[in-house]
């Protein structure tokens, strides 16, 4: 009741002051509740900061596998984007939010969920616009398995080739791992078991089990572990 009686202008100022106090506390303790910060920044009409903290809060939820919670937080951040001016920073924030949301949607609703695919489609347009190679590769990691599971091997093959092209440009071991394994998926799915096994082994040479958490953070999966399972099936 008391909160409702506070004039709107004063209410916004109080929310801003609470957010700033929380940030100062974070500086001292290295602990912060990003969801709480996002709420206060949103109420203070500081939408850019709110969007950033909704993203961080969603990522924190993902780390403890609270994907339903993460979905809510990411969608709240996305909803606030319309209040921001059209800038490169907003595009980058949108790209990060859509990519993170796709990871939770795939876990919650499956590899071929229409909602996940539509989210990735929006993110891909943004990734081309901002020319973010890491995000472009991240989105391939959603689309290639989507088409594999859907049985569209031609599109899956084209995406595997795109992954290999990016790996050839970045020379990142994690990119090579995924690119080789995605080619292996294609050969294995088409019945070329020997070639599939060779590509699995090429990909797994780049796999580092110590990077499990960083792999999971990209798209919610550990492609190397999945490859071990597929490779075992081919040997069997």
| pLDDT > 70? residue 127 | yes
Residue for token pair 């110590």:
210
pLDDT tens for residues 60-76?
Answer: 999 999 999 999 999 99
175-214 burial string, b = 16+ CB within 10 Å, else e? bbbbbbbbbbbbbbeeeeeeebbebbebbbebbeeeeeee
Round to whole Å and give the CA distance between 234 and 191.
Answer: 10
Contact 19, 49 (CB under 8 A): yes
**How confident is residue 175, by pLDDT bands cut at 50, 70 and 90?**
very high
**How confident is residue 28, by pLDDT bands cut at 50, 70 and 90?**
low
| pLDDT > 90? residue 184 | yes
Query: Alpha carbon of 207 to those of 1, 22, 200: distances in Å?
Result: 57, 40, 11
Both structure tokens of 115: 């909602």
Please, what's the largest Cα pairwise distance for the chain? 73
- Mean pLDDT rounded to a whole number for the chain: 90
Q: Closest Cα partner for 91 from 59, 42, 124? A: 124
pLDDT tens for residues 191-202?
Answer: 999 999 999 999
Contact 30, 24 (CB under 8 A): no
Interval 216-233 mean pLDDT: 91
Output the pTM of the full model. 0.84
The whole-number pLDDT of residue 27 equals 61
The whole-number pLDDT of residue 10 equals 66
pLDDT tens for residues 155-174?
Answer: 999 999 999 999 999 999 99
Domains in the chain: ranges and CATH: 1-131 (1.25.40), 132-236 (1.25.40)
| pLDDT > 80? residue 92 | yes
The whole-number pLDDT of residue 15 equals 59
Interval 30-36 mean pLDDT: 72
Both structure tokens of 198: 């060779």
The whole-number pLDDT of residue 201 equals 97
pLDDT tens for residues 207-224?
Answer: 999 998 888 888 888 999
Question: Residue 123 class from Cβ within 10 Å (0-12 exposed, 13-18 middle, 19+ buried)?
Answer: buried
**How confident is residue 9, by pLDDT bands cut at 50, 70 and 90?**
low
Query: Alpha carbon of 123 to those of 2, 112, 193, 235: distances in Å?
Result: 42, 16, 34, 37
| pLDDT > 80? residue 23 | no
The whole-number pLDDT of residue 19 equals 66
State the DSSP code for 81.
G
- Non-local (6+) Cβ contacts of 166 within 8 A are 133, 136, 137, 140, 175, 179
Q: What is the end-to-end Cα distance of the chain in Å, rounded?
A: 67
């Amino acid at each position: 009741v008391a909160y409702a009686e506070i004039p709107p202008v004063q209410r916004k100022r109080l929310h801003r002051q609470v957010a700033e106090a929380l940030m100062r506390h974070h500086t001292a303790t290295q602990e912060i509740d990003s969801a709480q910060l996002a709420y206060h920044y949103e109420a203070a009409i500081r939408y850019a900061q709110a969007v950033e903290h909704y993203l961080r809060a969603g990522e924190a939820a993902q780390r403890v596998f609270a994907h339903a919670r993460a979905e809510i937080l990411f969608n709240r951040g996305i909803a606030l984007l319309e209040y921001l001016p059209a800038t490169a920073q907003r595009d980058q924030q949108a790209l990060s939010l859509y990519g993170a949301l796709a990871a939770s949607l795939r876990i919650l609703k499956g590899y071929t969920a229409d909602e996940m695919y539509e989210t990735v489609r929006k993110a891909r347009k943004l990734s081309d616009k901002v020319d973010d190679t890491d995000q472009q590769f991240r989105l391939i990691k959603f689309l290639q398995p989507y088409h594999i599971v859907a049985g569209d091997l031609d599109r899956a093959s084209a995406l595997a080739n795109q992954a290999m092209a990016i790996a050839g440009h970045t020379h990142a071991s994690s990119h090579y791992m995924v690119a080789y394994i995605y080619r292996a998926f294609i050969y294995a799915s088409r019945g070329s078991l020997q070639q599939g096994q060779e590509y699995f082994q090429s990909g797994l040479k780049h796999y580092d089990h110590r990077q499990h958490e960083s792999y999971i953070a990209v798209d919610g999966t550990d492609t190397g572990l999945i490859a071990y399972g597929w490779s075992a099936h081919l040997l069997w």
